[in-house]
A and B are shown apart, each in its own frame.
Chain A
Amino acid sequence: MTTLNELLNSKNIESFITNLSAPHLFLHGLMLLFIVYLLSKRPFKPRQNDSLSKSEEEELIRDWRPIPLAPKLSKMQILNSKEVVITSTTPTHVTVNGHSNVLNLARTNYLGFIGHPEVQAKAEETIRKYGVGSCGPRGFYGSIDVHIELEKRLGKFMSTVPAILYSSGYATISSTIPSFSKIGDIIIADRCVSQPIQVGLSLSRSQVHYFKHNDIKDLTRILELTNKTGEKGKISRKFVVVEGIYYNTGELCALPQIMALKDKYKFRIIIDESHSIGILGKTGRGITEHYNIDAEQVEIRTASLANAFSSGGGFCVGSDTVVTHQRLNGVGYVFSASLPPYLATSATKAIDLLDSNPDLLNSLSHNIHYMYKELQDNLRGLKVCGSPLSPVIHLRLKESTGNREDDEKLLEQLVDKSLDSGVLITRAKYVETEKFIPEPSIRLCINAVLSEADLDFAINVLKSVSQSTFKN
Chain B
Amino acid sequence: MRDVDNEEGDIDDIDYWTICWIYIAYGIIIFVGKIADLIDKIRGHRYFITPKGYAPLFVEFEYFYQMRLYSRIKDCWDRPICSLPGAWIDVMLRTNQHYSEPLEYVLVGILDGLLTFCLFRNKFRITGETKRCLNLGSYNYLGFAQNEGPIAEAVIESMYKYGGFTSSTPAEDGTTEPFRLLERETARFVGKEDALVFEMGFATNSGSLPALVGKGALIISDSLNHASLATGCKNTGTKIKVFKHNDTKHLEQVIRESIIQGQPKTHRPWTMILIIVEGIYSMEGEIGNLPEIIRIKKKYNCYLYVDEAHSIGALGSHGRGVCDHYDVDPKDVDILMGTFTKSFGSIGGYIAADKSLIDHLRQSSFAYLYANSMAPPCAMQAYQALRAIAGDDGTDIGARKIKQLKENSNFFRERLRQMGFQILGGKDSPVVPLMFYNPSKIATFSRMCLERHIAVVVVGYPATPLTSPRARFCLSASHTREDLEWALEHLDTIGDQMNLKFKKPIKV
Contacts and interface: CB of A to CB of B under 8 A. Distances in A.
Interface of A: 52, 57, 60-61, 64-67, 69-71, 73, 77, 80-81, 83-89, 96, 104, 106-109, 114-115, 119-120, 123-124, 127-136, 138-145, 147-148, 167-171, 174, 180, 182, 194-196, 199, 202-203, 205, 235-238, 266, 268, 299, 304, 306-307, 310-312, 319, 321-322, 324-325, 327-329, 331-332, 334-337, 339-340, 342-343, 346, 424, 426-433
Interface of B: 47-48, 51, 53-59, 62, 65-66, 70, 77-86, 89, 91-92, 126, 135, 137-140, 145-148, 152, 155-156, 159-177, 179-180, 199-203, 206-207, 211-212, 226-228, 231, 234-235, 237, 256, 259-260, 269-273, 300-303, 334-335, 339-342, 344-347, 353-354, 356-357, 359-360, 362-367, 369-372, 375, 377-378, 381, 455, 457
Contact of B164 (A60, A119, A433): A119
Nearest to A333: B202
B244 to A, nearest CB: 21
A37 B160 CA distance: 94
Contacts of B172: 106, 426-429
A120 B366 contact: no
A312 to B, nearest CB: 6
A108 B174 CA distance: 10
A86 B301 contact: no
Most buried by B among A114, A205, A339: A114
Q: Determine which residue in A136, A196, A311 has the highest number of CB atoms from chain B within 10 A of its CB, and name it.
A: A136
A169 B147 CA distance: 26
Contacts of B227: 331, 334-335
Given A71-B360, A143-B79, A335-B226, A134 B163 contact: no
B77 A140 contact: yes
A86 B173 contact: yes
A167 B146 CA distance: 20
Contact of B54 (A80, A106, A266): A266
A60 B168 contact: no
Given A66-B272, A170-B199, A322-B57, A60 B82 contact: no
A343 B163 CA distance: 11
B148 to A, nearest CB: 7
A332 B202 contact: yes
B167 A108 contact: yes
B139 A170 contact: no
B57 A237 contact: yes
A340 B378 contact: yes
B164 A143 contact: no
14 contacts: A66-B271, A85-B180, A88-B162, A106-B173, A128-B147, A130-B84, A136-B139, A171-B371, A199-B366, A202-B237, A268-B54, A310-B167, A337-B347, A343-B165
A337 B201 contact: yes
Contact of A325 (B55, B57, B147, B339): B57
Given A85-B180, A332-B202, A431-B366, A144 B360 contact: no
A106 B168 contact: yes
B153 to A, nearest CB: 10
B470 to A, nearest CB: 13
Given A73-B360, A132-B347, A337-B200, 7 more contacts: A71-B360, A73-B359, A108-B168, A114-B167, A119-B164, A167-B347, A336-B202
